[in-house]
Structure 1
Amino acid sequence: MVALPTFLPLSEAARKYGLDEAHLRHLIEKGKIRAGVVAGEMVVNEDEVRGEAIQEKGLRKEDLPEYQKNAHLKGKGIWIAKAARDYQIPHPTIVRWVRAGYIKRLGISGNKVIIDEADVAYCSEIYKKRGRQGRILFNEDGTPYKPKASSYAV
């Protein structure tokens, strides 16, 4: 199934990402954020608002809602093969994320590389929203990648 963009009411997007509603309206007017009207209420593209919040506020991945959802798993170890099974992500993909630093390596137990389950859950969520072969998912700092073009093939 094709991944469709998520739209949030303007007020909710401003609250969720700590931005001013007037500033979001200005970004809409400039064409940096796509918006629409649903049932008389203005809605905005969540991915684009998140990207603007990351750029303007310098948010870390730990500050994002996708990470906060699984913050209780921070520091809990899981080995790579189990993470691949539990989160239904290809093993080589998780290994690449560990090498890139998106997932923290906690240590080694026998033959198993132990990684942080909170990072796995976060990466898994981003992967399931937009992941496909060849798609860039993360910036170097681990935040979700925002394509330069306002629309991209899904």
Structure 2
Amino acid sequence: MVTLPVFIPLSEAARKYGLDEARLRDLVEKGKIRAGVLPGSDEVLVSEDEVQKRAEKEQDSGVRKEDLPEYQKHAHLKGIGIGIAEASRKYKIPFSTVHRWVKLGYVKQIGVNGQKSLIDEADIAYCNEVYKKRKGSRGKWLFKRDGTPYNPKKLVA
């Protein structure tokens, strides 16, 4: 007998396996996780098996960004919504950079107010901290896929 894959709603998979929903959507769009939509519905269903494997892989990578001192400094802002444009002005980061961080899942979208996306201020404050510390400029990697700071390998002479 053939065992068929189990598909569950994307939001449920993110919650169940502790993954960021935006990150999970990105993995679906890149074809890294199989997904589908039921006819007459706009709810995305994902392969539970593949999501579970991805979650285990990311957990094995070690430290979570939420555990880093740079993030802990801003933990009091966790769950507070701020608009992307407002965050861009407040933290003096280009709008396109903030938008890209949201799309990549480094900054969590926590809601919508009318047409305005609300993002988690703790996440944007943390990203700002890393951005300013690294003197963020075009073409520099700042974050690994899990949102922790990217440390470039030093060249040995």
TM range (shorter): 0.5 to 0.7
- Counterpart CA distance in 2 for 1:90 and 1:111 is 20
- Counterpart CA distance in 1 for 2:112 and 2:99 is 14
RMSD (Å), alpha carbons? 1.6
In the alignment, which residue of structure 2 is the partner of 1:99? 103
Taking every aligned residue pair, what percent have the same amino acid on both sides?
A: 61
Instruction: Tell me, yes or no, if structure 1 residue 136 matches structure 2 residue 146.
Output: no
Q: How much has 1:57 moved relative to structure 2?
A: 8.0
Q: Residue type matched to 1:70 in 2?
A: H
Tell me, what secondary structure is at the counterpart of 1:127?
helix
TM-score with structure 1 length normalisation?
A: 0.60
- Counterpart CA distance in 2 for 1:150 and 1:100 is 28
In the alignment, which residue of structure 1 is the partner of 2:70? 66
Change (3 A) 1:74 1:90: same
Mind listing any 5+ residue stretches in structure 2 that lack a counterpart? 1-59
Q: How much has 1:122 moved relative to structure 2?
A: 0.1
Change (3 A) 1:60 1:150: farther
Mind listing any 5+ residue stretches in structure 1 that lack a counterpart? 1-55
- Residue number among 120, 123, 134 corresponding to 2:127 in the alignment: 123
- Counterpart CA distance in 1 for 2:130 and 2:113 is 28
User: Which runs of at least 4 in structure 1 moved beyond 4 Å after TM superposition?
Assistant: none
In the alignment, which residue of structure 2 is the partner of 1:148? 153
